[in-house]
Amino acid sequence: MTNQVMPAGLLPLEGAFNFRDMGGYRTTDGRTVKQGLLFRAAELIGLTPEDHRVLEGLNLKHVFDYRNRGEAEQKPDPRIGQAVNIRIPANTAAEDAPSLDLEHVFASGLHKQFSKSMLGDLYAALPIRNASYKKLMELLKQPEANLPLVQHCAGGRDRTGVGSMLILLTLGVPYETVLEDYLLSNVTLEKFHRQMFEMAAKYVSTEELKEIEEAMKLQEIYLGAAMDSIIAEYGTFDRYLLEEFGIDEVARQQIQDYCLE
């Protein structure tokens, strides 16, 4: 991110990528999401003492981790102040999969399974009957008791991107704005992605590298697959909130009244 203006909401942490305040977005009724309540991030294991000082000032009540067991054991979440750490895997199919570092993934050829279609299928599956998001939204239903909260995965982009979509849409932020927030991770993770691609270049052909770069770039079609899945299953986002999470109009209004200004 050298020579770039820091995106709004991005916390200037030394040891964590993509730690962002989700506040500041305008809702359809003209209100604004409060700052200091809802955060999204990548993995947190690299937090420095100064980072901890900054984050302890947020008075976080929960650190919500979407990663699978192997990821969390390899890079465990630190304790941040008095926050309660919760881990419920968003991708349950990978819960018992071994955690492999990226260099091993590229060196062994495992990267070949990653494609646009694979990621599209993952996004389509994530928001439907998912225990991880059910717990997230359960916390959101009692904001005065459970916020501030940070939700995160490995890069803070895919699993966290869907969680952020659910939160922001519940608050009444238009989908177009939610999509902008999602795609912002292409900017905030630019250094992370560049390092990954430089590593991959040691093991894959130039053509393969281009395909990897294209598939890994966050795109409208990925988040759109999650939203399309919700509409295909429930017809409307309102019905989805009610049937998946028990959030009716009264509960949604209470959440909004607490989280908006």
Q: Who wins on pLDDT, 158 or 194? A: 158
Structure tokens at 161: 């991107």
d(CA 198, CA 156): 20
pLDDT tier at 2, thresholds 50, 70, 90:
very low
Q: What is the secondary structure of the chain as a DSSP string?
A: -TTSPPPTTB---SS-S--EE-TTPBPTTS-BBPTTSEEEES--TT--HHHHHHHHTTT-SEEEE---HHHHHHSPPPP-TTPEEEE--SSGGGTTSPP--HHHHHHHTGGGG--HHHHHHHHHHTTSS-HHHHHHHHHHTSHHHH-SEEEE-SSSSSHHHHHHHHHHHHTT--HHHHHHHHHTHHHHTHHHHHHHHHHHTTTS-HHHHHHHHHHHS--HHHHHHHHHHHHHHHSSHHHHHHHHH---HHHHHHHHHHHB-
* Average of per-residue pLDDT across 66-91: 96
**Range with lowest mean pLDDT among 72-81, 94-103, 169-178:** 94-103
- Around Cβ 3, how many Cβ atoms within 10 Å? 4
Residue 42 φ/ψ, nearest 5 degrees = -90, -170
**What average pLDDT is seen over the chain?**
92
Whether the per-residue pLDDT at 175 is higher than 90: the answer is: yes
89-139 confidence digits (pLDDT tens) = 999 988 987 766 777 777 777 666 666 788 899 999 999 999 999 999 999
140-164 confidence digits (pLDDT tens) = 999 999 999 999 999 999 999 999 9
Confidence at residue 67, expressed as pLDDT on a 0 to 100 scale: 97
